[in-house]
Amino acid sequence: EKGGYDYFMLKEIAEQPKAVADTLLGRIGADGRLHLDEMRITDQQLREIDKIIIIACGTSYHAGLIAKYAIEHWAGLPCEVEVASEFRYRDPILTRSTLVIAISQSGESMDTLMAVRHAREQKARVLCICNVNGSTMPRECDGVLYTHAGPEVGVAATKTFLTQLVAVYLIALYIAQVRGTKWGDEVFAMVQLLATMPEKVEKVLETMGPVRELARSLANERSVLFLGRHVGFPVALEGALKLKELAYMHAEGFAAGELKHGPIALIEDGLPVIVVVPPRAREVLHDKIVSNIQEIRARGARTIVIAEEGDDTVVPYSDTLIEVPAVPTLLQPLVATVPLQVFSCELATAKGHDVDQPRNLAKSVTVE
Ligand code: F6R
């Protein structure tokens, strides 16, 4: 059942191109327009919303953080993101024109479920993004957009995370289509590009040999830091979470711009720092992060740089360079996350851990 792999996690990482393709399947029309009629939220309702709030936990929360950038940019709506366990105990200001999006792989996380109920009691419309048919959340929400990752057995979310990203991109682009916001060349082109993402993810998977080698060489480190900006920041948080849960190692993700406000004090000789570099097309962000890489390297950090292929600017400052296919910034998490999954999985197995069943963790957290 593991299809020849030692762990479900390895199989699930390898299945990502198909999971991404399956989540897109039937949702892009021949005319290049999106069809999400199954969502149970009408176009009229989508035209009426004036704010989006995303609630989720763990890895799904990281998908939510990325969604914020996509929704603000394409759909042109204000968007807040919060961990469900915090949202639930606040008095959020919600109205009938607030759309709450709950993201949950299992559809059963108690924290998210309680946050969904909290939002519905206050009359907000709630849409969930979920991978498990017939689970609790799709039944309790006003609408649902399913991810089609197939069952995920490994406790660490991998293919479900990538498909959650696909789902949030689809929603953001669909809202743009319905509301007419920015609908035009950019959104049309983005939908076309989304359709090519399975091949791009496949390309990343084909080049993971050096990442595995790197992971094994770092198995005895005490700590690894992750840096990113824009959508690369949640990718950094996700990389750190994977390393914590699988390798039981101290790992922390930072927004690269925050480095100088404190975390740079942590940099010492030999400390591995993984940096997610935005595409060169994002010139300002790109150049700022390249300066960050120089700064930390000058202070002794061992720099592991994830950048788009052909980005020569980072070569002089990268102790290890991991290249990913060139894609627009907002879509980069789909390719940049994969090396981080492979890295944590390999490092944890090098330490002798069972990556499918990390200690103290459950696949579905049904207690608050
Ligand atoms: C991390 C992981 C957890 C889940 C979190 C939410 O690899 O799997 O952080 O993402 O428990 O679970 P769902 O998405 O089922 O609500």
Q: What average pLDDT score do residues 49-58 get?
A: 98
- Residues 135-150, mean pLDDT to the nearest whole number: 98
Residue 127, beta-bridge partner list: 101, 143
Return the best residue to mutate from 60, 153, 341 for the ligand 1 pocket (most ligand atoms within 8 A of CB).
Answer: 60
Q: Does ligand 1 have an atom closer than 6 angstroms to the CB of 365? A: yes
d(CA 329, CA 188): 16
Q: Is the pLDDT of residue 39 over 80?
A: yes
Sheet containing strand 51-56, strands side by side: 79-83, 51-56, 98-104, 125-130, 143-146
pLDDT category at 362 given cuts 50, 70, 90 is confident
**Side-chain half-sphere exposure of 305, counting CA atoms within 13 A:** 29
156 lines ligand 1 (CB under 6 A): yes
Which pLDDT value is given to residue 182?
66
Whose alpha carbon is nearest atom 9 of ligand 1? 58
Tokens (6 digits) for 258: 């925050």
The whole-chain average pLDDT of the chain stands at 96
pLDDT at 183: 59
**Per-residue pLDDT tens over the stretch 254-284:** 999 999 999 999 999 999 999 999 999 999 9
Q: Kindly report, residue by residue over 174-212, the tens digit of the pLDDT.
A: 999 999 876 578 889 999 999 999 999 999 999 999 999
Q: Is the ipTM of this complex over 0.90?
A: yes
Q: What confidence category does residue 359 fall into, taking pLDDT thresholds of 50, 70 and 90?
A: confident
Does the beta carbon of 64 sit less than 6 angstroms from any atom of ligand 1? no
- Span 328-354, mean pLDDT? 97
Greatest Cα pair distance, the chain, in angstroms, is 57
Of all protein residues, the one whose alpha carbon is nearest to atom 10 of ligand 1 is 59
In total, the chain counts a number of residues equal to 368
The torsion region of residue 259 among left (phi > 0), alpha (psi -120 to 50) and beta comes to alpha
Residues 299, 38 contacting (CB under 8 angstroms): no
Is residue 352 within 8 Å of residue 358, measured between CB atoms? no
Tell me what pLDDT residue 135 has.
Answer: 97
pLDDT tens digit string along 101-113? 999 999 999 999 9
Q: How far is it, in rounded angstroms, from Cα 208 to Cα 227?
A: 20
How far apart are the C-alpha atoms of 344 and 42, rounded to whole Å?
41
Cα gap 102→114, rounded to integer Å: 11
Q: What is the pTM of this model?
A: 0.97
Amino acid found at 145: L
Q: Ligand 1 centre from 106 Cα, in Å?
A: 8
Tokens of 294: 């120089």
Handedness of CA 43, 45, 48, 52 (dihedral sign): negative
Give the residue from 93, 163, 95, 87 showing the smallest Cα distance to 129. 163
* pLDDT tens by residue, 204-239: 999 999 999 999 999 999 999 999 999 999 999 999
What whole-number distance in Å separates Cα of residue 268 and Cα of residue 112? 38
3 state DSSP class of 65: helix
Q: Which of 106, 116, 128, 344 has most ligand 1 atoms within 8 Å of its beta carbon, as the pocket-test mutant?
A: 106
Write down the pLDDT at residue 87: 96
Which residue has its alpha carbon closest to ligand 1 atom 7?
156
Q: Minimal CA–CA distance to 130: which of 104, 110, 156?
A: 104
- In short, whether 58's Cβ falls inside 6 Å of ligand 1 is yes
Report the atom number in ligand 1 closest to the C-alpha of 56.
16
Cα(205) to centroid(ligand 1), Å: 23
C-alpha–C-alpha distance, residues 191 and 197, integer Å = 10
Measure 157 CA to ligand 1 centroid, in angstroms: 6
Helix %, strand %, coil % for the chain, to 5? Answer: 50, 15, 35
What would the mean pLDDT of 58-65 be, rounded to a whole number? 98
